[in-house]
Amino acid sequence: MSVSIVGTYHSKVGRLKEETLYSLLVEAGKGALEDANLTGKDIDAVYVGNYSGGGFNHQEHLAPYAIEIDEGLRFKPCIRVENACASGSTAVEEAMMAIQAGKIKTALVIGVEKMTSLNTKGVTDVLAMASYYPVEGSKGYTFPGLYAEYAKGYMKKYGYSIEELYDTLAHISVKAHKNAMSNPLAQMHVEYTHEAAKSVHDKNPMIADPLKLSDCSLISDGAAALVLTTTENAKAMKDEVVEIQSLVHASDHLSIVEGKRSNYELTAAKYAVKKALEEVNLTIDDIDVAEVHDCFTITELLIYEALGLAPDGKGREALDNGIVYPGGKLPVNLSGGLKAKGHPVGATGASMHVLIARQLLGNAIGLQAEGAEIGLTLNIGGSGATNIASILKRIK
Amino acid sequence: MSVSIVGTYHSKVGRLKEETLYSLLVEAGKGALEDANLTGKDIDAVYVGNYSGGGFNHQEHLAPYAIEIDEGLRFKPCIRVENACASGSTAVEEAMMAIQAGKIKTALVIGVEKMTSLNTKGVTDVLAMASYYPVEGSKGYTFPGLYAEYAKGYMKKYGYSIEELYDTLAHISVKAHKNAMSNPLAQMHVEYTHEAAKSVHDKNPMIADPLKLSDCSLISDGAAALVLTTTENAKAMKDEVVEIQSLVHASDHLSIVEGKRSNYELTAAKYAVKKALEEVNLTIDDIDVAEVHDCFTITELLIYEALGLAPDGKGREALDNGIVYPGGKLPVNLSGGLKAKGHPVGATGASMHVLIARQLLGNAIGLQAEGAEIGLTLNIGGSGATNIASILKRIK
């Protein structure tokens, strides 16, 4: 049974001083219901993607709070899922399965995170719990440090020089910030120059060698929500809807530093993308627009290769030939991505699905990929242990 | 599509000094696979129920660690779910839906918690995050305090005296400890006398008025795991299997102290039980054995009423007429329950499903309900916000 999106909502992303974990969850849930012209009574289950309400906000067991969105949700199943920064896509996945199981018809999916309740040190410590803590977080590894392992691994594997790396990563950072200028909900509306992003200097300090500040995504508050239902039901509700045609979730070993998986490619992400495309008999050439997990600029470079936009070790080509820029064959992260739109971690996967749905409906939040019909999301958790790829298509 | 259990495992429960969150997860996962005569390659997805790996062990994003159970699990979806003390049953629920969706055939479900890494104060603080923190946990409410609200509400609603309450709760506590004497995996093998449990004294101090130490469940480490597959597949694998014939999940408002829901009955738990029985056209009279959520003795009293074993306000009758004792019409918590078997919170729902499956196969862990064919589990999260009831039946 196929599943479609009939309502979406995306909050502002940033340091939202007036908002709490609770207010963001309610804002997003109400917004998606309103967009779908539904009330709580029409919803059969709520799935909440949240990384660490415990660590950031002293709040586990968040899902039943969804009843505060609408009393009509009382006595419905409310479920929290957590898979680090891929919690939002996991919520989409589980809601889809409940619908496909025939157990429910319509689900509300909410991704939410409130990170700025802690200072930067506190946030870093909470995020470190998404690593394999005994071997990584507890030994001082931060997430910039874990992704620095990929940067170093990539340079070593392909003989990529630090100058080449910095030049390539600067292009990715500059693209993200430029795209975000058009996104009214983005956290940062500040353009970088290529030179500023390329070099290490006072305003662009080294965070985890070789990754600089300009290579890192943001600490954010935000939420996004979707209403999912059977495609049959969706078509009865709206003229045009967005179907989630495939969603593939592939896990890999939790730790990167133990050496049980690659440090120069996103092996399981590549696997997930390949399988998601195969399931619907498409190739990457059929995809019109993508939102992918640029938690660090190096991650986006590796994702170009995981998507098959460039051969292994030559991800840079996707930038050089213009594919991934606005107006290119496959614009990537028109929203500004995690780098500039922001990265409220548990919300990010839901955000990606909302952003692509809006692109395909011709109603983009920010830059529009003209005429886009088929889109892709790729959401990653931890240092590559959780990987979820979705293919979305506009249908009548 | 119906779903059955083809493999189970239950760890020792207690203060397991040699075990970690990781070793418990691996032990349970390997144990259930072995019991099912399967390897990782045969498993299509892993669902992990865990309440607060972050709070207890600095470990969020636990699910992909399941790959360490068996390399054959690599690239499969690994999903953590969290709904406070009902995380284990939520994992069962989501695995069932994935199978019913036809997305997967066979799932490994693991519930796990390692709580004794913190001292009692630390554990209390982590558990408080399962309340509505701004109004409860942050104001000093502990879980004994939240369930004390039920005890007080029950006394007020029904004009139940403190003497009656203490006499009733002592019967529940004594039953739990006596049952646990036969359970080799139980945390406590110590019998209480009725008099000792009934009164407040040095060894039975007041924890949260009116609840005493003998009314509270334990702080525990432990894990339990199940292999679920389509009933069709299960029948091809084993002569007798246990089918999960219904599972109903009902949520209620997160907070109890805000007064949006009852403080003298488990409203949503009652709803879940009723619906779970209706779905399979059974009544409580058809149930042969049950494992229910006695996080506090008052909770078990309220559960007798939620199950319909006694009228509202007269739960005590289920004790007086012997129904819930070994050899009674519906023995409740033959394992010793959360009170004496122990309560590794994220594992508890998985534990209940394992215990009932073993009862129905005539292979109980501890006391056996002779000839039991149909069993029930009732798992509760928070102070009654999450409620999951399952009906299990032995089939050929």
CATH of the domain at A70: 3.40.47.10
Domain contains B154: no
- Number of structural domains, chain A? 1
Best probe of the A interface among B70, B97, B110, by most A CBs < 10 A, is B97
Tell me how far apart the alpha carbons of residues A99 and B124 are, in angstroms, rounded to a whole number: 37
Tell me how far apart the alpha carbons of residues A19 and A221 are, in angstroms, rounded to a whole number: 8
3-state secondary structure of A16: coil
Instruction: Report the chain A residue with the minimal C-alpha distance to residue B380.
Output: A61
Tens digits of residue pLDDT in B216-261: 999 999 999 999 999 999 999 999 999 999 999 999 999 999 999 9
Angle between helices A162-180 and A143-158 (to 10 degrees): 130
Q: Which residues of B touch A21 (CB under 8 A)?
A: none
Residue range(s) defining the domain that contains residue A39: 3-119+219-237
Look at residue B108 in the predicted model and tell me its pLDDT.
98
Binned at pLDDT 50, 70 and 90, residue B57 comes out as very high
Report the pLDDT averaged over residues A38-49.
98
Q: Which residues of A touch B1 (CB under 8 A)?
A: 101
Which residue type does B293 have? H
Domain contains A88: yes
Instruction: Give me the catalytic one of A85, A216, A249, A295.
Output: A85
Tens digits of residue pLDDT in B295-320: 999 999 999 999 999 999 999 999 99
Q: How many CB pairs under 8 A join A and B?
A: 202
Best probe of the B interface among A62, A67, A79, by most B CBs < 10 A, is A79
User: Looking at the complex, does the CB of residue A88 fall below 8 Å from at least one CB of chain B?
Assistant: no
Q: Which residues of B touch A83 (CB under 8 A)?
A: 61, 63-64, 78-80
B292 phi/psi in degrees, rounded to 5: -130, 170
The beta-carbon neighbor of B60 closest among A20, A129, A251 is A129
Binned at pLDDT 50, 70 and 90, residue B345 comes out as very high
Please confirm, yes or no, whether A343 is among the known catalytic residues: yes
Decide: B236 and B114 in contact? Cβ < 8 Å: no
The beta-carbon neighbor of A90 closest among B57, B79, B103 is B79
Tens digits of residue pLDDT in A329-361: 999 999 999 999 999 999 999 999 999 999 999
Binned at pLDDT 50, 70 and 90, residue B279 comes out as very high
Asked if B79 lies within 8 A of A83 by C-beta distance, the reply is yes
Domain contains A55: yes
The beta-carbon neighbor of A61 closest among B63, B268, B385 is B385
Tell me how far apart the alpha carbons of residues A301 and B114 are, in angstroms, rounded to a whole number: 38
Residues of B numbered 2-61 whose beta carbons fall under 8 angstroms of chain A's beta carbons: which are they? 20, 22, 46, 51-55, 57-61
Q: How many C-beta neighbours within 10 Å does residue B263 have?
A: 21
Q: What percent of chain A has pLDDT over 70?
A: 100
CA angle, A349 then B75 then A173, to 5°: 40
Q: Report the candidate in A25, A85, A179 with the shortest Cα–Cα distance to residue A9.
A: A25
The beta-carbon neighbor of A52 closest among B60, B63, B79 is B60
Please list, in sequence order, all residues whose beta carbon lies within 8 angstroms of the beta carbon of residue A202, skipping any fewer than 6 positions away.
Answer: none
Residues of B numbered 377-396 whose beta carbons fall under 8 angstroms of chain A's beta carbons: which are they? 381-382, 385-386
Report the pLDDT averaged over residues B86-109.
98
Look at residue B296 in the predicted model and tell me its pLDDT.
98
Tokens matching residue B204: 């039975």
Please list, in sequence order, all residues whose beta carbon lies within 8 angstroms of the beta carbon of residue A341, skipping any fewer than 6 positions away.
Answer: A13, A176, A180, A183, A185, A186, A187, A333, A335, A351
Look at residue B254 in the predicted model and tell me its pLDDT.
98
Length of chain B: 396
The catalytic site residues of B sit at 85, 343
Asked if A251 lies within 8 A of B73 by C-beta distance, the reply is yes
Instruction: Give me the catalytic one of A10, A171, A293, A343.
Output: A343
**Mean pLDDT value across chain A:** 98
Report the pLDDT averaged over residues B31-48.
98
Q: Which residues of B touch A389 (CB under 8 A)?
A: none
A265 pLDDT exceeds 90?
yes
Q: Sort A102 into a burial class: Cβ within 10 Å, 0-12 / 13-18 / 19+.
A: middle
Asked if B64 lies within 8 A of A249 by C-beta distance, the reply is no
The beta-carbon neighbor of B83 closest among A80, A98, A249 is A80
Q: How many C-beta neighbours within 10 Å does residue B283 have?
A: 10
Q: Which residues of B touch A65 (CB under 8 A)?
A: 132, 254
Please list, in sequence order, all residues whose beta carbon lies within 8 angstroms of the beta carbon of residue A231, skipping any fewer than 6 positions away.
Answer: A1, A2, A3, A4, A241, A243, A395
Domain contains B60: yes
Look at residue B12 in the predicted model and tell me its pLDDT.
98
User: Looking at the complex, does the CB of residue B312 fall below 8 Å from at least one CB of chain A?
Assistant: no
Q: Report the candidate in B3, B389, B96 with the shortest Cα–Cα distance to residue A100.
A: B96
Domain contains A82: yes
Decide: A183 and A338 in contact? Cβ < 8 Å: no
User: Looking at the complex, does the CB of residue A246 fall below 8 Å from at least one CB of chain B?
Assistant: no
CA torsion B161→B162→B168→B174, rounded to 10°? -170
Domain contains B89: yes
Look at residue A55 in the predicted model and tell me its pLDDT.
98
Tell me how far apart the alpha carbons of residues B17 and B6 are, in angstroms, rounded to a whole number: 30
Q: What percent of chain B has pLDDT over 70?
A: 100
Tens digits of residue pLDDT in B179-205: 999 999 999 999 989 999 999 999 999
Domain contains B23: yes
Asked if A67 lies within 8 A of B103 by C-beta distance, the reply is no
Best probe of the B interface among A82, A108, A246, by most B CBs < 10 A, is A82
Asked if A82 lies within 8 A of B82 by C-beta distance, the reply is yes
Residues of B numbered 259-278 whose beta carbons fall under 8 angstroms of chain A's beta carbons: which are they? 268, 271
Q: Tell me: cis bond preceding B134? Omega within 30 of 0 counts.
A: no
Asked if A63 lies within 8 A of B251 by C-beta distance, the reply is yes
Min Cα–Cα distance to chain B from A146, Å: 15
Tell me how far apart the alpha carbons of residues B299 and A298 are, in angstroms, rounded to a whole number: 52
Asked if B60 lies within 8 A of A82 by C-beta distance, the reply is yes
Report the pLDDT averaged over residues A226-249.
97
The beta-carbon neighbor of A77 closest among B75, B137, B251 is B251
The beta-carbon neighbor of B98 closest among A58, A97, A128 is A97
Q: What percent of chain B has pLDDT over 90?
A: 99
Look at residue B1 in the predicted model and tell me its pLDDT.
79
Report the pLDDT averaged over residues B38-46.
98
Q: Which residues of B touch A52 (CB under 8 A)?
A: 54, 60
User: Looking at the complex, does the CB of residue A79 fall below 8 Å from at least one CB of chain B?
Assistant: yes
Tens digits of residue pLDDT in A15-37: 999 999 999 999 999 999 999 99
Instruction: Report the chain A residue with the minimal C-alpha distance to residue B50.
Output: A82
Q: Report the candidate in B318, B311, B103 with the shortest Cα–Cα distance to residue A95.
A: B103
Alpha helices (H) along B117-230: 120-128, 143-158, 162-180, 194-198
Which residue type does B310 have? A
What sign does the dihedral B201-B204-B206-B211 (CA atoms) show?
A: negative
Look at residue A1 in the predicted model and tell me its pLDDT.
79
Q: Report the candidate in B100, B47, B102 with the shortest Cα–Cα distance to residue B76.
A: B47
Domain contains B40: yes
Tens digits of residue pLDDT in A358-384: 999 999 999 999 999 999 999 999 999
